[in-house]
Structure 1
Amino acid sequence: MSAADSAADPVVIAGMAVEAPGGIDSLPGYWTALAESRDLTGPFPRNRAWPIDRLLSLSQVEGWSQVSDAGGFLDGAGEFDPMFFGITPREAVAMDPQQRVAMRVAWRALENAGINPAMLDGDDGGCYMGVSYTEYGPRGAEVNEYSGYRATGSASGAVSGRISHCLGLVGPTISVDTACASSLTAVHLAASAIRAGDCEWALAGAVCVLGSPAGFFEFSKANALSADGQCRPYSDDANGTLWGEGAGVVVLERESRARRMGHRVYGRILGTQVNHNGKGAPIAVPSTAAQERLIRKTVAAAGIEPALIKMIEGHGTGTAVGDPIELAALQHIYGAAVHPTGDGPLLGSVKSNLGHAQAAAGLLGLIKVLLSGLHGHIPPTRFADNPSRKVDWDSSSVRLAEKLEYWAPRDGVRYGAVSSFGVAGTNAHAIVSMPVLEDIHV
């Protein structure tokens, strides 16, 4: 299909579902929490056999920093109805919870699109899921009651594979690991597959459920973990990131198919791009130059002027190194644009509400943008009252979203952007447009 044909019949988002910390398992619940600027974090789960006393005493070891009893954890991470999905209880226990959570969120995303998940056997649908390994369960090289189920139970590929197997999908089924850029990378691959004719439609999403507290140990040693249990993106008070969990899945298809089948169009995917920092700085250190290149390519692929972007959902991990690097790239492109209304884009990060959900972070941000477009308001980002002094805000029109603000459409459309960056150097960016919808029931 030519570029002109692709623009005339874009890939759209026709359904979505989410699970987030704070007991959130619905789109209305997620939107309300964002609009009310809620803190969705809480103490470490006490039902995962984590060495919590050891975690909280790490700062007593020379060279290690304080670990707070805090994070963004899913209340229902351990809940699952195996028989509903055709899985035996014994096999279900051996499955990484990320597989279980991904299956039920994918099911709800299809229902949200008006699709009966039980009627898809043999359908040419794809499934692209972002996921990272999180050390769930015993080692495979042990003899225990889970032996025989560990291969599929711990494989990252089984996160997407379980979904397609359950639904009977026969299209491309791929799990994606580009660390914290995984979910937007999955969206990019899924949209590209639909445009290329590899599948008629696709599920795209990501999941993160912490099988162990390894990330807290790693970032305590790296002195990059929030000392007080709060993630403060783009704030001058930022003192490190905070780990979280979550899952999000969207249903992608051509707009002509969505209209033909009576599906709602939440948004059009105007452009997605993925790149890498290249060599130079240490692998975990972001690059302003790489992020600028990525954003410019995405804007070009979207075929719009950057001045149309009113909402930016940034990566915003709350680290002293990463945030200023990202801010510089956003300011150079979106902040330098001449905005017709005189108001520049509002920037935020859902990590201020629920922590850093790693592989799922970008999808939680994308769904935030889609819900904002649906409701016509941009929610506040927490801790926006003291912006980082490591960048010059006066030289750019980008500003932090400090309160719930009305989002005026342009010719009946709202435009937003989402960024994600992975610890291994992969960067992903997406631009979506959202038509004004009269019916906001989700």
Structure 2
Amino acid sequence: MSGADPGDPIVIAGIGVEAPGGVGTPAEFWAALAGGRELIGAFPRDREWPLAEVLGLGERESWGTVCDAGGFLTAAAEFDPLFFGITPREAVAMDPQQRVALRVAWRALEHAGMNPAALEGDSAGCWMGVSTMEYGPRASEINEFNGYRVTGAAQGAVAGRISHAFGLLGPSISVDTACASSLTAVHQAAAAIRAGECDWALAGGVCVMGSPGAFYEFARNNALAADGHCRPYAADATGTLWGEGAGVVVLERESRAAARGHRVYGRLLGSRVNHNGGGAPLAVPSAAAQERLIRGTLAASGVAPDRVGVVEGHGTGTPVGDPLELAALAGTYGSAGGAGPYLGSVKSNTGHAQAAAGMLGLIKVLLCGLHGQVAPSLFADRPTAEIDWDTAGLRLATELTDWEPIDDCRYAAVSSFGVSGTNAHAIIGMPVPRESDV
């Protein structure tokens, strides 16, 4: 395995995605993004959730409203266990995040032109962002799933299942930095490839809600959207809206991709992870930390901020988080001069997919680069007045817009910030595709 070589960047050579609204392929995801579709639906009725209680939380004193809305995966309960060599009994005991991650990883490999069934013994790694979602009974209960609960409930098994199913021998690590998890996973996977720990890697994130616990938490904190829509950077944003999703990308060196005839969707030019530090409460974002993170990522990438045409922001639609993020973006990308980059958030389409949110944003950027267009961010026609947009050097992406390349490349940035204070940022360079590739 080769060591670090700045002339041989880490590239993204395959994409797998599953998003709300029945989206199961990159093409379906792009159609939804380009068409400005909101992929929000009613709460699932097949998960045995106490919906009367959940939807009635707003009637309690000091609790916020919970709307019958979210970005839920329509195929979360679907899985073919025998296809992956898993017994049906074990499959039921598995956290659905493991099941969804397995099939999306398979799709990413196929999208890269690789045969997932022919990888046994390959020195590839796997990094998956995931958070605990309260699926299934407790391991201390006596039930028909005893014996499978340790692996079925373990977060480490999300990456481990993938490595096991494909016979991959490199590092296999599940990453939990809350909502920054999937971008952190990409950052760590790329670092491992550069260090020679593996030849290539799968990296991504998954979120399937095994319980409605996240709605309880944010209803109690009055941080949920009051109208069932996630409105990033909008004047009428009242809070976030929870969603689900999964995304996996194939990472390898560009020389390896060329030798194997793999398509390059983007080059990972720089990525960094940091923390807010102390001071404010743990869950409160820090504009100063975000600005430090962005400046560090730009320095690592060697890309000047005025070359970045699109910023896929964290953009949760919360009255506290969005203004702080906008301040950090205005102080970095906005200060570069000119019209500034287009800004948006995929959460306006899908809701906040938590540990998978950054990966859905990254895939959105890759698809925008592939098609040479900036997808609109929904609900952006009335931007927040918390910043002066005329002087901030940022443009909200309100409609599908052509994206002109610079020197045959389109540059974008992706942010993802965790409620535990961890922040992740990545800068991607996407070569202009041949007409036949689009």
Q: Do the structures match in fold with TM over 0.5?
A: yes
- In the alignment, what sits opposite 1:370? 366
Calculate the TM-score normalised by the size of structure 1. 0.98
Q: Return structure 1 stretches of 4+ with deviation > 3 angstroms.
A: 439-442
- In the alignment, what sits opposite 1:297? 296
Q: Does 1:385 align with 2:378?
A: no
- In the alignment, what sits opposite 2:415? 419
1:193 Cα deviation after fit: 0.2
1:374–1:440 Cα contact (<8 Å) kept: no
Separation in structure 2 between the aligned mates of residue 56 and residue 400 of structure 1, nearest angstrom: 33
Separation in structure 2 between the aligned mates of residue 401 and residue 120 of structure 1, nearest angstrom: 41
Q: How many residues align?
A: 438
Separation in structure 1 between the aligned mates of residue 310 and residue 2 of structure 2, nearest angstrom: 29
- In the alignment, what sits opposite 1:428? 424
Separation in structure 2 between the aligned mates of residue 399 and residue 56 of structure 1, nearest angstrom: 36
Alignment of 1:153-302 (within 5 A): 153-302=152-301
- In the alignment, what sits opposite 1:324? 323
2:339–2:395 Cα contact (<8 Å) kept: no
Q: Does 1:62 align with 2:75?
A: no
For the residue of structure 2 that corresponds to 1:7, the secondary structure is coil
For the residue of structure 1 that corresponds to 2:283, the secondary structure is coil
Deviation string, structure 1 residues 284-335 (Cα, Å, up to 9, x no partner): 0000000000000000000110000000000000000000000000011000
Alignment of 1:58-137 (within 5 A): 58-137=57-136
1:128–1:176 Cα contact (<8 Å) kept: yes
1:441 Cα deviation after fit: 4.8
Calculate the TM-score normalised by the size of structure 2. 0.99
CA spacing shift, 1:115–1:346, aligned 2, 3 Å: same
Q: Tell me which moved more, 61-70 or 431-440.
A: 431-440
Separation in structure 2 between the aligned mates of residue 388 and residue 13 of structure 1, nearest angstrom: 34
Separation in structure 1 between the aligned mates of residue 105 and residue 59 of structure 2, nearest angstrom: 43
Q: Report the identity percentage.
A: 68
1:92 Cα deviation after fit: 0.3
Amino acid at match of 1:38: R
- Match 1:402 to one of 398, 401, 424: 398
Segments of 5+ residues of structure 1 without an aligned counterpart are: none
Separation in structure 2 between the aligned mates of residue 57 and residue 398 of structure 1, nearest angstrom: 39
Alignment of 1:304-343 (within 5 A): 304-338=303-337, 342-343=338-339
1:7 Cα deviation after fit: 2.1
1:344 Cα deviation after fit: 1.5
For the residue of structure 2 that corresponds to 1:269, the secondary structure is strand
Separation in structure 2 between the aligned mates of residue 441 and residue 410 of structure 1, nearest angstrom: 19
Deviation string, structure 1 residues 74-96 (Cα, Å, up to 9, x no partner): 00000000000000000000000
For the residue of structure 2 that corresponds to 1:301, the secondary structure is helix
For the residue of structure 2 that corresponds to 1:324, the secondary structure is helix
1:380–1:402 Cα contact (<8 Å) kept: yes
